[in-house]
Amino acid sequence: MGPNSVAQIAQTHGFVIVTCYSIWPKEKTSAIDRFKHPQQFLTVFLFIHTRPYLPPSLFQDSLHFSSSLLSLPMAILRCCFFIILFILGFAKSQPFTHPINHTDLQAAIGDMRAKSYYGFAMLLQMLNGTTAQPIRDFTFLMPDDKQLSSSSISVDEVGEFLLKHAIPMPLHFNDLSHFPTGTLVPSGNSSKMIRIYNRGKRDFFVNNAKIVSANVCLNSVIKCHGVDAIIDYDN
């Protein structure tokens, strides 16, 4: 997948993506020798759930982008990184304040039940019955009933469990499939990140969990995909 495809997804879903490439082999690394690791191919994606700042044209040629970034005056770079850090801090501090339309939620729950994800649908209904954590246009990553039955989830933990199994934007599987292995995307919990392992449609993982049933929720803004395990986090 090329950088332009990632940028297109970012523009569609309101991301900022900052991509830095180190270049290999070494004879082509004059612009980035200061990284001290010329043999490594390093890709860093920084996703921020806000409006995009960078046009897709910047991503059409990754080598041009990395050289342009490193040639910017240090004052401008410092300013850019300050803005990024400010946005990160602001986004992290904001609660979820935009509940999703009740009709959309019920449609999503209906889709989940139609594909036998009864347990996850029940957890969503439990959360929707409280005012502690409003639900908005998430992508849910749903363990099946067998996986949920093996996990002890108290009433007080339902909200946190669902947030750890969610991405705070609606993504079809086709959208997810554009992210290369190693991409980090935010979970519903602002302190937890989901790492993508993309080896094709039949071998696509979010952290430790494999997507086994794509595009379950088709009749609402909410999107959902079935996974084969409770999602674990290292951080």
Are both 143 and 205 inside the same structural domain? yes
Same domain for 175 and 192?
A: yes
pLDDT digits (tens, 9 = 90+) for 96-122: 444 556 788 899 999 999 999 999 999
pLDDT (0 to 100) of residue 73 = 54
Residue 235 lies inside a defined structural domain of this protein: no
Helix-helix angle 102-114:118-128, to 10 degrees:
160
pLDDT at 102: 74
For residue 156, what are the contacts with CB-CB under 8 A and spacing of at least 6?
none
Output helix, strand, coil percentages for the chain, rounded to the nearest 5: 40, 20, 40
pLDDT at 178: 95
pLDDT tens-digit profile of 2-58? Answer: 544 444 444 444 444 433 333 333 333 333 333 333 333 333 333 333 333 334 443
In the chain, count of helices (H) and strands (E)?
Answer: 8, 9
Instruction: Specify whether 79 is located in the same domain as 109.
Output: no
Structural domain contains residue 232: no
pLDDT at 7: 45
Residue 122 sits in the same domain as residue 219: yes
What are the helix (H) ranges across 72-170? Answer: 74-93, 102-114, 118-128, 145-149, 158-164
| Residue at 233 is within a domain | no
Q: Which pLDDT tens digit goes with each residue over 56-76?
A: 443 344 434 444 444 445 554
Cα–Cα distance list, 190 to 64, 78, 106, 208, 231 (Å): 32, 24, 25, 19, 15
133 has pLDDT over 90: no
The predicted-structure confidence for 205-228, as pLDDT tens digits, reads as follows 999 999 999 999 999 999 999 999
Domain that holds residue 70: 3-93
Number of domains the chain contains: 2
Closest to 124 in 3D by CA, of 163, 98, 96: 163
The CATH number for 139's domain is 2.30.180.10
Domain assignment of residue 166, yes or no: yes
* pLDDT score for 45: 35
DSSP codes, 176-202? HTTSPTT-EEE-SSTT-EEEEEES-TT
Looking at residue 128, its pLDDT comes to 72
* One domain for residues 84 and 123: no
Cβ atoms of 144 and 173 closer than 8 Å: no
Q: What is the pLDDT of residues 168-208, one digit of tens each?
A: 999 999 999 999 999 999 999 989 999 999 999 899 999 99
Is a pLDDT exceeding 50 seen at residue 81?
A: no
Asked if residue 124 and residue 27 are part of one domain, the reply reads no
Which residue in 145, 194, 205 sits closest to 169, CA to CA? 194
pLDDT at position 89 over 50 = no
Cα separation, 180 vs 216, in Å, equals: 22
**Same domain, yes or no: 121 and 217:** yes
Q: Report CA dihedral (62, 67, 68, 74) to the nearest 10 degrees.
A: 130
